[in-house]
C-alpha cells in the first residue's frame, strides 16, 4: 500500500540565499527522486522564498523526500499538501493562419485568453489546474501550436 506511486505537491519555505536552490535540486538527483516541475519566487516582505515542487513517488519515498528536505539547514518548512488550490500557467504560440477565435474560446474555458498578437503569430495564455492545462494542450494540438511553455505548478493549502 505504501509503495503505490502518486503525484505529490510539496511546498518548501527557504531562506533566500544563493545556494539554496542547488541544495534542493542536488538532493533530488543524489537520492534519485524525480522533479516534475519546480517553481521559486521570493515571499514578499520577508527573507524567505517559496518553492512549489511537483514530484511523484510512493508514500515511503515522499516521506523521505520531506524528511531529507527538512535536514537541509536553510529550509524553514516543508509542507506536503493534502487539500490545495493548485494553478499552473501555460503560454502557447500559434500561427496567424490558424482559427484564432476558436483558440480564444478554448483558452477562455481554461481561465485564459489571447494575450499577444504579433505580425505572424498570436500567443494564448491559460491558468488552471495542472491536469486541466494538460487537457488544454491536448485540445489545441489540432491548431498546430508552434511553441509551448508551462510554468510549473504553484499551490496553496485551502
Partner 1 sequence: MQISGAQMVIEALIKEGVDTVFGYPGGAIMNVYDEIYKQDGFEHILTRHEQAAIHAAEGYSKISGKVGVAMITSGPGFTNAVTGLADAYMDSVPLVVISGQVPMTLIGTDAFQEIDSVGISRSCTKHNYLVTDAADLPRILKEAFYIANSGRPGPVHVDIPKDVTAQIAEFDYDFEVELETYKPTTKGNYRQIKKAVDAIANASRPLFYLGGGIINSNASDEIRELVKLTGIPAVETFMARGVLGHENPLLISMLGMHGSYAANMAMSETDLVIGIGARFDDRVTGKLSEFAKNAGVIHVDIDPASISKLVKANYPIVGDVKSVVNDMTTIAREKVDKQRYEPWLETIANFERLHPLSYNEDTPNLKPQWVIEKVGEMLGDNANISTDVGQHQMWTAQFYPFSRPRQFSSSGGLGTMGFGFPSAIGVKKADKERVSINFTGDGSILMNIQELMTSVEKKLPVINIILNNNYLGMVRQWQTLFYNKRHSETDLSTQPDFVKLAESFGGVGYVVRTKKEFEDALNDAIKKDVVALIDVKIERLENVMPMVPAGGSLFNMMLENKGDK
Residue 146, interface with partner 1 (CB under 8 A)?
A: no
Task: Check residue 138 for interaction with partner 1 (CB under 8 A).
Answer: no
Alpha-carbon gap, residue 143 to 121, rounded angstroms: 12
Q: Which stretch binds partner 1 (CB under 8 A): 60-68, 82-90, 113-121, 144-152?
A: 60-68
Question: Using an 8 Å Cβ cutoff, are 58 and 5 in contact?
Answer: yes
Burial of 37 (0-12, 13-18, 19+ CB in 10 A): middle
Q: Is 131 an interacting residue with respect to partner 1 (CB under 8 A)?
A: no
Q: Which stretch binds partner 1 (CB under 8 A): 65-73, 79-87, 88-96, 121-129?
A: 65-73
Contact 105, 111 (CB under 8 A): no
**3-state DSSP call for residue 32?**
coil
Residue choice 16, 23, 58, 111 for contact with partner 1 (CB under 8 A)? 23
Contact 58, 86 (CB under 8 A): no
Q: Determine if 70 is a binding residue for partner 1 (CB under 8 A).
A: yes
Judged by CB under 8 A, does residue 147 bind partner 1? Answer: no
C-alpha cell read off for 49: 522564498
Per CB under 8 A, residues contacting partner 1 are 2, 14-15, 19, 22-23, 26, 30, 60, 63-64, 67-68, 70-71, 73-76
Amino acid at each position: 500500500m505504501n509503495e503505490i506511486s502518486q503525484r505529490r505537491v510539496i511546498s518548501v519555505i527557504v531562506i533566500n540565499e544563493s545556494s539554496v536552490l542547488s541544495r534542493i535540486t542536488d538532493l533530488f538527483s543524489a537520492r534519485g527522486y524525480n522533479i516534475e516541475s519546480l517553481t521559486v519566487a521570493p515571499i514578499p516582505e520577508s527573507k524567505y522564498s517559496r518553492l512549489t515542487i511537483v514530484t511523484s513517488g510512493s508514500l515511503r519515498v515522499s516521506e523521505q523526500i520531506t524528511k531529507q528536505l527538512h535536514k537541509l539547514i536553510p529550509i524553514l518548512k516543508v509542507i506536503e499538501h493534502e487539500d490545495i488550490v493548485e494553478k499552473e500557467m501555460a503560454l502557447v504560440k500559434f500561427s496567424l493562419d490558424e482559427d484564432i477565435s476558436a483558440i480564444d474560446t478554448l483558452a477562455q474555458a481554461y481561465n485564459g485568453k489571447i494575450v499577444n498578437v504579433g505580425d505572424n503569430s498570436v500567443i494564448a495564455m491559460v491558468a488552471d489546474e495542472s491536469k486541466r492545462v494538460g487537457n488544454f494542450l491536448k485540445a489545441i494540438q489540432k491548431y498546430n501550436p508552434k511553441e509551448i511553455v508551462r510554468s510549473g505548478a504553484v499551490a496553496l493549502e485551502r
